[in-house]
Amino acid sequence: MSLLLLLLRLFLAGTFAIAGAAKLADLAGSRKAMRGFGVPAKLADVFGLLLPLAELAVAVALVVPLTAWWGGVAALALLLIFVAGIGYNLAQGRTPDCHCFGQLHSAPAGWSTLVRNLVLAGLAGVVVGFGKNTTGPSVVESLNGLTITPGFELVAGALLLVVLIGEGALLIQMMTQHGRLLLRIEALEKRLGLSTQPAPGLALGTQAPVFELPGLDGKTTTLQKLRSLGKPLILLFTDAACGPCTALLPDIGQWQREHGKKMVVALVSRGTVEANRTKVKEAKVTNVFLQKDREVAQAYQALGTPSAVVVNHQDGTIGSAVAQGPDAIRGIIGATLNGKLPMAAPRPPASLKIGEPAPDFSLPDLAGKTVKLSDFRGSPTLVLFWRPSCGFCARMLPDLKAWEANRSNGAPKVLVVSTDSVEDNRAMGLRSPVVIDKGGMSVGNKFGAAGTPMAVLVDEQGKVASALAAGAPAVLALAGQDSAQPDTPRAQLPE
């Protein structure tokens, strides 16, 4: 039994150490997850830091025999809090991102997450249940059977924790580098015309998968019924727990009311009836149908939310690639209204040429004050397109803040054009001015930016002074240049 207790302690310590270290490596994501679980924004910033520190403290306590029982109590308490939080959100039909292991593993909380935490709580309960004096031997005692001093046990436990944290940090670094390498290869293939990646979704002309789904009123519908209305059918895949989906609902309601004679917009959503009804009621959205999980979305190869696809009502075939994200969905709506169904994924906007006047824009900052790009005339300005919920942005945030803290005299000013909520942007703690583009990437599209993080340099006269930089390394390199020559492109491979 002593050996079993030791193994349980080490397993729990390793789990908490990796979880805590991974969260510390992505504090922005940790704080965002707190807000997703309903923690008020003011407390989420504090708890987003305290939670990983508490997890590391639990890991240390579990390793050292003198504190192992208390470590088990703390582990059990934390895990029960996790179980309660996850269970409550699932009961409300919400599946916020658990961010359990930072960027090592971050996925919407579901029943599997709940079961995993219940199992871990059971293991912690075993450690606690055997009492203060029977938590098992220390690590070193298990290896050589020697009686050692408490001080040596503490040192051994600390060393073991360092090893665990080091392994977690190394794994994070390897995964980050691997992701960057894949993105660089993909970008290079596109530049050389070697990319063979197909457009998202089913092939054009493929017979659309049939389905039968219940609506919010309990009545069922089928693909055939929606087609029988005799108009182009747009299937929108959403989720009651998806923030961008919620933000798009007013537009969806407007499309349904104003263009109902030209097209049918139907939502295939996920979550409980109550959660979806609450979301769509204010936006006056109709034609909402619920899938059990993601079975219909997967059949149409719509891998994210929100996304949309056109189905030809005449023959029931796929009429477009899957449009992923609010901007692409707006494009597919516009093309349908104009009678020009997109035959491939929407193309990204064309980049501006160096030397062209930069499009001026006016957006509210985090205090609600209107900020214009023309306000920055007289000094080089890096216009940075950003999104707090973007994983690449989250990983770049510490480097960006370090650049702000050590900004050289000749470096350009930075104007961050961001999306998401004011609270999410304020939580980043950037010194540079941040303005909110409520239209998503409407301003970014004017500059040719199709994603985040991306940036372009604007010179003192308000003219484009660089090619678009895509990805953290390219953006930071562009920010680090003291001056920009209008005839020198600075295109960089994405992160």
Do 330 and 366 belong together in one domain?
no
Question: DSSP letters of 186-199?
Answer: HHHHHHHT---PPP
Do 9 and 149 belong together in one domain?
yes
Q: Residue written as tokens 């680090």?
A: 480
Task: Please tell me the predicted confidence (pLDDT) of residue 198.
Answer: 52
Distance, CA of 323 to CA of 226 (rounded, Å): 20
Distance, CA of 274 to CA of 488 (rounded, Å): 56
Identify which of 7-21, 63-77, 211-225, 432-446 has the greatest average pLDDT: 211-225
Task: Please tell me the predicted confidence (pLDDT) of residue 493.
Answer: 33
Is residue 13 within 8 A of residue 63, CB to CB? The reply is yes
Task: Please tell me the predicted confidence (pLDDT) of residue 6.
Answer: 79
Task: Please tell me the predicted confidence (pLDDT) of residue 221.
Answer: 93
Residue 246 belongs to some domain of the structure = yes
Q: How far is CA 306 from CA 106, 232, 267, 268, 455, in A?
A: 18, 19, 10, 10, 25
Do 295 and 242 belong together in one domain?
yes
Q: What pTM does this model have?
A: 0.37
Taking each continuous run of H as one helix and of E as one strand, the counts in the chain are 16, 14
Do 436 and 388 belong together in one domain?
yes
Do 222 and 171 belong together in one domain?
no
Distance of CA 332 to the CA centre of its chain: 23
Task: Please tell me the predicted confidence (pLDDT) of residue 347.
Answer: 47
Do 24 and 170 belong together in one domain?
yes
Residue 187 belongs to some domain of the structure = no
Do 333 and 368 belong together in one domain?
no
Do 58 and 151 belong together in one domain?
yes
Task: Please tell me the predicted confidence (pLDDT) of residue 8.
Answer: 82
Question: Which of 165-179, 314-328, 385-399, 400-414 is predicted least confidently?
Answer: 165-179
SS3 for 348-374, per residue? CCCCCCCCCECCCCEEEECCCCEEEHH
Strands (E), 189-332: 212-214, 220-222, 233-237, 264-269, 288-290, 307-311, 323-324
Give the Cβ contact number of residue 217 at 10 Å: 10
Task: Please tell me the predicted confidence (pLDDT) of residue 130.
Answer: 75
Does residue 190 have a pLDDT over 80?
A: no
Do 172 and 48 belong together in one domain?
yes
Residue 329 belongs to some domain of the structure = yes
| 423: phi then psi, degrees, rounded to nearest 5 | -65, -45
Structural domain boundaries, residue 312: 212-337
N-terminal to C-terminal alpha carbon distance within the chain: 50
Task: Please tell me the predicted confidence (pLDDT) of residue 363.
Answer: 93
Do 283 and 226 belong together in one domain?
yes
| Interval 305-361: pLDDT, tens | 899 999 988 888 898 889 888 888 998 898 888 876 644 444 445 668 899 999 999
